Chain A
Amino acid sequence: MNAEVRSVKTHAEQALSEAYQASKAKLPGDRKVVALREAAAARFEAIGLPNRRVEEWKYTDLRALIGEAKPLAGTPDAASIARAMTAGHLIGDMDARRVVFVDGIFVPELSDLTGLSPGLTIRSMAEALAAGDPLIADRLGKVVPSDSEGVFALNTALMRDGALIHVAKGATLERPIHLVFAATSDKPASVFTRSLVVIEQGARAMLVESHDASAAHQVNSALELVVGDKAHVDHIKITSGPANLVHVSSLMVAVGANARFNDFAFNIGGGVVRNQTFIRFDGEGTLAGLRGASLLKGKQHVDSTLVVDHKAGGCQSREVFATVLDDESRGVFQGKIVVRPHAQQTDARMMTRALLLSDEAEADNKPELEIFADDVQCGHGATSGALDQDLKFYLMARGIPEVEAEALLVQAFVGEAIEGIEHAGLRDALMERVVGWLRARGS
């Protein structure tokens, strides 16, 4: 009998390690970046893909879910680029500066980098890595360090392109920036994108990320975001794609003092989706809202995991997440709030709600509070349940047909979270997507 003492690497893990070894010479970056990649690859080698033995991933066993790793995406061909022209349509007709990435590679001809307002710098991550941009050395991988995160380590090892954005002190961006990530190759591929956004003191910016995919891609996307003192930043991430898409994203945010940060995640597609957010408050007096709405059907699995770190006191954080689950879908919410010693006067609240439209759907909810200060207000609440039959009867008794009555109630349910988006046009566009989703369900 030969008992196993250490876990054997899966095919996917082996394939990913080999992909790194085979491609590292071609990946962009100077000597410092190479060292960063090497260290990250070694970490991935040691921890591997997240699995159910890792507490943070217990509901989303990526190792089991991923099966085979897809080959690294190649440079997009003309057909992929053509398909990407309409990507990002979920934001409606909101006027935004489009910065487009196809199969993880920046595509200048689809992007609008003309007439950048004063204080705004946008460049491709690949170019910045190769050129040794000072922001890379200062910030990349350092915004919210996360050594234990296998997928983030993998992203650092294999990052190929993305956006590097800098908004100078006091600058106000009138037009939102829309990062359009379109995985449109017809051959399923692994796509690694990495972006770094630094918003300096007192600046105002709105950033929308939309992720579309056309095939059974495996997307690993990471964004590091620095919100300076007194800055006001909105970040919205919209994820859609086919039922065989695996999408894993990491958002690392460090927020300064007296700032405002609003985050919203909208999930309306994909097979396995994991959005993990790590946010840290470095200065006092900041208000942050982290919200999300997910609409799940079929066998979709969507995992929203948050770690909210109140390192400085006097900050307010609000989390509101609404998930609608139909068919055999599964929704996971894990929210951890950490209040460090001395982070007094922290006011942190978390609310998650799941609406189950089918008996086969499953919602898992794991709130965690780690409070090391004594003068704080922290709370969390969670609900899950079916549509209220009495409310449905009330609507139907007024002549509203069953399908429409259910749709109204579902819209009301997700509306509470969507209301948190400040941009009215985007709010309306997402509400329209909700209506479309409901219409498809009713037909």
Chain B
Amino acid sequence: MPMLEVKNLHVTVDGKQILKGLDLTVNKGEVHAIMGPNGSGKSTLAYVMAGKPGYEATEGQVLLDGEDILAMQSDERAAKGLFLAFQYPLEIPGVATMTFLRTALNAQRKKRGQAELSTPEFLKLVREAAGKLEIDTEMLRRGVNVGFSGGEKKRNEILQMALLQPRLCVLDETDSGLDIDALKIVSDGVNRLRSPDRAMVVITHYQRLLDHIVPDVVHVLSHGRIVKTGGKELAHELEAKGYAQYQEEGVLAS
């Protein structure tokens, strides 16, 4: 059984149809890239999978391990192993990152019937994961993402991913706003999480992230549908030729 199966997904946002019959199959162990021009529906796909209010699936299914997650609350999806790394991580003044991480981790463990982590166990995990991402643990005492630079926010997303150990990671424009050094740290963090039991969907506009996180499969999304699927060389082709041809195909197809 594939880990993720998106079947004929139609999604409207504010009454406007954005996804128009999207199909996608991802097996465990695979990394899929979804590329596409602005406005093609990339972020909508990420949000609808995570269950953001206002993103309404009017038709189709999103199956995680064969189970449709569309009717589930966002927290249930997360407990089932879905993780969305946000394009724009939010700032939460007054909620310390440590508290946030611990609440999230223990909530997921509880839902899966696992025991909560003790404070020393938790701190050890955080220190290790933060160290690898070059995040100063002092920063984790502050409010979530408050006063963080763009790069620090993205690293914080990957830290959450490393701690929560999801089975399906969806990365939405993780490279946006990153300089070369930060891009390397973040990509290394993502690559460390690649495993035969885990799948990733990497959403990006540019090919450069895919030099660091090398995908198994590349899809082109245009006008709410996957219009082309290929190997990693497809990303290079897009970088050279741009999205123009697919945009046109998309228009013709719809």
Contacts and interface: CB of A to CB of B under 8 A. Distances in A.
Interface of A: 389-391, 393-402, 404-405, 408-409, 411-413, 415-416
Contacts of A413: 94
Contact of A391 (B50, B92, B108): B92
Interface string B61-98: 00000000000011101110001101001101111000
Contacts of B75: 396-402, 405
Interface of B: 50-53, 73-75, 77-79, 83-84, 86, 89-90, 92-95, 99-100, 103-105, 107-108, 111, 143, 160, 164
5 contacts: A391-B90, A396-B51, A399-B104, A400-B107, A413-B94
A295 to B, nearest CB: 15
Nearest to A410: B94
Contact of B73 (A394, A398, A402, A416): A402
Contacts of A393: 50-53, 74
B93 A399 contact: no
Contacts of A408: 92, 95, 99-100, 103
A397 B73 CA distance: 9
A415 B144 CA distance: 14
Contacts of A405: 75
A396 B73 contact: yes
B53 A389 contact: yes
A266 B73 CA distance: 35
B104 A398 contact: yes
Given A399-B104, A402-B75, 11 more contacts: A391-B90, A395-B100, A396-B74, A398-B78, A398-B160, A399-B78, A399-B105, A400-B103, A409-B92, A411-B94, A412-B94
A402 B111 CA distance: 13
B107 A394 contact: no
Contacts of A401: 73, 75, 107
A389 B53 CA distance: 8
Nearest to B101: A398
A397 B51 contact: yes
Contact of B92 (A389, A394, A416): A394
Contact of B86 (A389, A394, A400, A409): A394
Nearest to A389: B53
Contacts of B105: 399
A413 B93 CA distance: 8
B94 A404 contact: no
A391 B92 CA distance: 7
B92 A398 contact: no
B58 to A, nearest CB: 20
Contacts of B95: 408-409, 411-412
Contacts of B104: 395, 398-400
A394 B50 CA distance: 10
B144 to A, nearest CB: 8
Contacts of B73: 396, 401-402
B157 to A, nearest CB: 10
B94 A415 contact: yes
A394 B52 CA distance: 9
B94 A397 contact: no
Nearest to B166: A399
A25 B77 CA distance: 72
A399 B100 contact: no
Contacts of A398: 75, 78, 100, 104, 160, 164
A408 B107 CA distance: 13
Contacts of B86: 394, 397
A399 B165 CA distance: 12
B90 A416 contact: no
Nearest to A416: B94
